[in-house]
């Protein structure tokens, strides 16, 4: 058994993962790795609900503002870089914290990625052009038909994820979902998984209030400043694509805000569907810090 332990904090958006991760990092005297697929990008601040300056000062964070939206940062890149950072943390500490709601990125670090097949780049180029000219709806419909399992797992408003699933099928004739279930890689550390969840009405209220807060903090101006990057994959996501539609005069600001709330609620539901499949997750209500710490310390003793 390894003497090193990674505590993975997972759950839906707006549930309070950031605050919990900081409390755990302070309690165990360690550092945090973020596995939020959009908080990597320094240009995306308000719409990604990043930890604020006070929260970042509360514990050392990795993979917050670490990359530019101009460059692709894949799950494979994250697996390699996060393992390297984790090794550095484990040289100083026996415990590290992983936090995030991006299931693919959490899985990449904990279990590793399958070797992906070679993709016909002409197919990728065609799908990217189709997305730009016809919109994401057409891509979504095609993927739902050929690989409904993968379609149900990932953020359906993220063109990169949709195109990825479709290009794999069109290039190989095999579903991407069938390639994500191989034997997991061995890691030189133990993993304890903590999941946060609460009553759906409470969660949805938190989501709605967070979106209102983002608008009040200046989300529209943030998106205006990113308009030159609007076709980049990271920006074709909830909170940004809806504001781009508003700026393009396709919908009103009120319609954009309502769409962000609805799409975020749908995203939270998909996150919960993803994480509930994992029987190793220990579920808690937000605010149950003492119970969580007691369980973590008990499990560490058992694993030791």
Q: Does residue 296 share a domain with residue 242?
A: yes
The whole-model pTM stands at 0.85
pLDDT (0 to 100) of residue 209: 98
Query: Are 263 and 190 in a shared domain?
Result: yes
Pairing of strands 61-62, 281-284: unpaired
Per-residue pLDDT, 250: 96
Range(s) of the domain holding residue 162:
121-179
CATH number of the domain at 175, please: 1.10.20.140
What percentage of the chain exceeds 90 in pLDDT? Answer: 69
Element (H, E) at 95: strand 95-99
Top-confidence residue, 194 or 153? 194
Residues 29 and 102 in one domain: yes
Average pLDDT over residues 28-38: 96
Q: Is the pLDDT of residue 300 over 60?
A: yes
Per-residue pLDDT band for 125 (boundaries 50, 70, 90) equals confident
Residue 209: give its domain's CATH number. Answer: 3.40.50.300
- In this structure, the answer to whether residues 51 and 140 fall within a common structural domain is no
Strands (E) in 127-217, as ranges, are: 190-196
168 alpha carbon, distance to own chain's centre: 21
Are 266 and 13 in contact by the 8 Å Cβ rule? The answer is no
- pLDDT by residue (tens digit) across 157-189? 788 888 888 998 998 888 887 776 556 789 999
Pair (234, 201) in one structural domain: yes
Q: How far is CA 71 from CA 94, 211, 237, in A?
A: 33, 27, 16
Mark whether 30 and 41 lie in a shared domain.
yes
| Structural domains in the chain (count) | 2
Q: Which of 179, 197, 213 is the last residue of a domain?
A: 179
Question: Within this chain, do residues 28 and 90 fall inside the same structural domain, yes or no?
Answer: yes
Measured distance between the N- and C-terminal CA atoms of the chain, rounded to whole angstroms: 7
Q: Which own/partner contact pairs does 141-148 have at CB distance under 8 Å and 24+ positions apart?
A: 142/166, 143/169, 146/175, 147/175, 147/176, 147/177
Residue 182 is predicted with a pLDDT of 59
Question: Do 20 and 157 reside in the same domain of the chain?
Answer: no
pLDDT for position 109? 95
Please report which confidence band the pLDDT of residue 132 belongs to, taking 50, 70 and 90 as the band edges: confident
How would you label 169-179 residue by residue, b for 16+ Cβ within 10 Å and e otherwise? bbbeeebbbeb
CA distance 3 to 301: 10
Listed range (149-158, 198-207, 242-251, 269-278) with the worst mean pLDDT: 149-158
Domain boundary among 179, 198, 224: 179
One domain, residues 234 and 261: yes
216-240 pLDDT tens trace: 999 999 999 999 998 887 898 999 9
Of 12, 44, 105, 42, give the one whose Cα is nearest residue 240.
44
Q: Are residues 78 and 94 in the same domain?
A: yes
| Cα distance between residue 282 and residue 10, in whole Å | 10
Considering the domain architecture, whether residues 145 and 203 belong to the same structural domain is answered as no
Please check whether residues 158 and 171 belong to one and the same domain.
yes
pLDDT at res. 261: 98
For the stretch 54-106, pLDDT in tens is: 999 999 999 999 999 988 788 889 999 999 999 999 999 999 999 998 888 99
* The domain boundary residue, chosen from 153, 179, 205: 179
> Percentage of the chain with pLDDT > 70?
98
Contact by Cβ (8 Å): 10, 17: yes
């Amino acid at each position: 058994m390894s003497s090193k332990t990674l505590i993975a904090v997972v759950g839906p958006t707006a549930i309070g993962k950031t605050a919990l991760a900081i409390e755990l990092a302070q309690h165990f005297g360690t550092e945090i790795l973020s596995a939020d697929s959009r908080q990597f990008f320094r240009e995306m601040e308000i719409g990604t609900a990043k930890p604020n300056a006070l929260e970042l000062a509360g514990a050392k964070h990795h993979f917050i503002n670490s990359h530019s939206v101009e460059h692709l940062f894949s799950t494979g890149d994250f697996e390699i870089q996060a393992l390297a950072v984790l090794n550095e943390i484990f040289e100083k500490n026996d415990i590290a914290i992983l936090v995030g709601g991006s299931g693919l990125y959490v899985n990449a670090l904990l279990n590793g990625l399958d070797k992906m097949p070679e993709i016909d780049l002409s197919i990728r180029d065609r799908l990217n052009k189709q997305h730009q000219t016809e919109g994401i709806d057409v891509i979504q419909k095609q993927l739902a038909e050929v690989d409904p399992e993968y379609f149900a797992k990932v953020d359906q408003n993220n063109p990169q994820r949709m195109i990825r699933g479709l290009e794999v099928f069109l290039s190989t004739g095999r579903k991407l979902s069938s390639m994500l279930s191989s034997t997991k890689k061995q890691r030189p550390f133990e993993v304890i998984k903590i999941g946060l969840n609460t009553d759906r009405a409470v969660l949805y209220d938190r989501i709605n209030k967070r979106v209102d807060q983002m608008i009040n903090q200046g989300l529209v101006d943030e998106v205006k400043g990113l308009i030159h990057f609007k076709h980049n994959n990271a920006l074709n996501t909830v909170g940004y694509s809806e504001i781009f539609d508003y700026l393009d005069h396709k919908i009103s600001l009120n319609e954009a805000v309502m769409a962000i709330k609805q799409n975020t609620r749908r995203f939270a539901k998909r996150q919960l569907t993803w994480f509930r499949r994992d029987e190793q997750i220990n579920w808690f209500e937000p605010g149950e810090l003492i119970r969580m710490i007691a369980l973590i310390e008990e499990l560490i003793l058992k694993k030791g």
